[in-house]
Each structure stands twice: as C-alpha cells, then as structure tokens.
Amino acid sequence: MSNDHHEVIDYEKLVNDYNDSLNSVLRGFRPKYDFLELWVPDANPISSVKNLVESAINQGHCAVSLFFSAEVLEQINFDALCKEMKSYGPIEQESTAGGKTIHLNRIEGKIKSSEMIDPLYKENIIELYESLAHQGSILEDGDNLLIRSTTEGVSLFGAVHVASHTIHRARFSGTNRTVEAALLEGLCRIIEGLPIQEAADHGLIKLEYMLRDKSQARGVKGIANVFNYPPIFKMAQTLVRDLFATYIKKTGYKVVDNFYHPAISQKWKALPESDKSEAVTKVFEHLLKKEGGPYGKYAVTLNILGIELHRRININIQGELPAETRAALYMDFEKELRKELEPSIEVFSQNIKDHNAIRRAIS
C-alpha cells in the first residue's frame, strides 16, 4: 500500500462529529482536519464525499484516505463512489473486517480560477500541472542514497547514485496548489539525470527558462538569475539547495568548480561533419523563415567554419544587420540548435578574414 503518511479519515465518525457539533458548538463545525472547516455533509453520501475531496483540493492537499464502516457501506453504492473518486486521480482500495478504505494518493484537482498565475509563465505552468508525473515519495531505489528536503510542509525527494553523484529519481509531495506543484514537477523533470551539484547550482535557472514564455518581455531587464526571479520560485530554490546540503552532510561530498556539460548523444557523435553542417544550416534557414519572426526581412548567409569536439560550432553570419539584431540572431540560433539537434551545442562567432589586400587597406 502506497498510502503516503496521511491519516485515514473515518467517514462515519466525521459525519457523527458534525451532527453532534450542531448541538455543542455555537460557532459552526470545528473539525480535526483544517481543510474541512467549511465542509457540510450532504444527504447523498456520494455527493458528500465529493464535497470533502473538493475541500481538500481547495486547501492544497494532494492525498486523502477515507474509511467506510460496514454500516455506511449498506447505505452507499461503493462501486459508484469509487468511479467518482477516479475522476480525481488514481485510487487504491483496502478491505478490512470492519469496512473498506479508499486511498486517493495523488489528487489531480482542477486548477482553481482564484489562483493567480504570472502571465509570463502561465501557459507552461498549466501544461505541467495537467501532466503531473513526479508527485509522491521515494521509499526505495536499489542501492541509491535516498535524501529529502522539506519546507513549509512540502518535500523534495531524491535518489542519488553516490559513485557519480547523479540524481537517478526525483519526486515531490505535500502540495497540490497549481503553481507549487507545477514548478516542482518541472524541477523534478530537469534534475533527474543531473549531478546533484549541477541541480543545486543551475536547476532553478533551467526551470525558469523552461517555464518562461519567450514571446513576452521579462519583467526585469538584464541577465536572468535567481536574484531577480519572481517569488514563485523561492520554494523550489530552497528545496533543491537544501537537498544538496543534505547530500553533503550524509556523504561528505566536497563542492567543486562546476564545469558540467550534458553528455553528447551517440547519434550526434556518429554523424559525419558534413551531415552535422547540413543539419545546422537547415536549423538556421528555418529560423530565418519562421512566421512572424524578426529575421526574415534581412538578407544574410551562414558560414560554418568548423565543428570542434562535436559541440563547438564556429560560424560567421554575413549580411547587413543592426548590431542588436545580429547579437539576438546568434543567441536565438544557439537556442534552436540545442532544441532541435543537441542540448550541448555552443555557437562561437568568428570573423572571416578578407584576403583581398586592397579591400583590407581601404577598410
């Protein structure tokens, strides 16, 4: 059973406590569980349970376990209830002599319209929230070291291969709030497969870049870094850095200068340089022709001067371009190459020497 350390709620007792409170509590129902503060039982048991789960969602809870006694089961269509519960996420059933328990360990609640999301990140946050795959804990992972960091009741889990200091698996738990869950989902996707120091050093930078809508202007001009990120990134930053601190404490790891580069794929390595150059050229041409893009009106050509160590691409872009546009083109070209061909590619600009002595003298 994967019940993730949350208490099982006895539904019959909860309803009885509510009914008793009508006589003994002057100012409303004061339940044991804070998310039920405004919950009211319904005459229809299935509707009543759905309202309970909705209350949990609205308070950011990501797991609920409910016990139904034999007496309650006589009054409810349990199969119909389970079907309704599956609309909130995967469930597990547990039968005992006294009744049955439903474990809803990963509530996939709908995004609350009341939750404000920064427009710069909104589209990608919603997309991540609707495809959560890293919510939960890690109980075992072979010989890998299990570590955990926690802040404000939210946890980040890592299973780290100690010999290589690489994060094999990452999970989070303790929140179902849209922004928090989406950011931690994105963080887990990013840091899996990374050295843990790289995750701590640059995980947030990679996360912010992944979430940002590149078609919009950033709220803060200049180089993006963790010091000028919006407050929504604070929890993820704290968790990943505390996870690294926990790893250091447990293993005695010594912090080193970080020159990490993603490993080059064998597929890219195996390509002859002529095929690499052809692929690079196609990406450049596609970038120029991109609909609504800023570069289509310029007559420019790409010269590939060489490809070193599979990742360093030396180029020169010829043609009349404003200085700012030329700089932006180099940066966007590198981003497209990393996206379309190989994440570790780096673009270097080199001037082509004019071998005509007369033109050189004139210029």
Listing DSSP states for 226-284 in one string gives GGGS-GGGHHHHHHHHHHHHHHHHHH-PPP------PPPPHHHHHS-HHHHHHHHHHHH
Element (H, E) at 199: helix 196-211
pLDDT per residue as tens digits for the range 138-147: 888 899 999 9
Mean local confidence (pLDDT), 101-130: 75
Mean local confidence (pLDDT), 243-255: 97
Class of 266-349 in CATH = alpha beta
% the chain with pLDDT above 90: 46
State the pLDDT at residue 43: 83
Q: How far is the C-alpha of 135 from the C-alpha of 210, rounded, in Å? A: 19
Verdict on whether the full-model pTM lies above 0.85: no
State the pLDDT at residue 262: 84
pLDDT per residue as tens digits for the range 260-280: 888 899 999 999 999 999 999
DSSP-derived secondary structure letter, 121: T
Coil/strand/helix, residue 44: coil
pLDDT per residue as tens digits for the range 69-106: 999 999 889 998 988 888 777 788 888 878 999 988 66
pLDDT per residue as tens digits for the range 311-356: 999 999 999 888 888 888 998 999 899 989 998 899 998 765 555 5
Mean local confidence (pLDDT), 127-138: 89
Instruction: Report domain extents, the chain.
Output: 8-104, 122-251, 266-349
**Residue predicted with more confidence, 29 or 274:** 274
Q: How far is the C-alpha of 6 from the C-alpha of 67, rounded, in Å? A: 13
Q: How far is the C-alpha of 224 from the C-alpha of 260, rounded, in Å? A: 19
DSSP-derived secondary structure letter, 41: -
State the pLDDT at residue 26: 47
Q: How far is the C-alpha of 170 from the C-alpha of 304, rounded, in Å? A: 40
Is CATH 3.90.1010.10 correct for 122-251? yes
Q: How far is the C-alpha of 361 from the C-alpha of 21, rounded, in Å? A: 96
Contact 179, 166 (CB under 8 A): no
**Residue predicted with more confidence, 203 or 52:** 203
Contact 305, 316 (CB under 8 A): yes
Among positive and negative, which fits the CA dihedral 261, 267, 268, 271?
positive
Contact 237, 204 (CB under 8 A): yes
pLDDT per residue as tens digits for the range 194-237: 999 999 999 999 999 899 887 777 665 655 666 678 889 999 99
State the pLDDT at residue 29: 47
Kindly report the average pLDDT of the chain as a whole number: 84
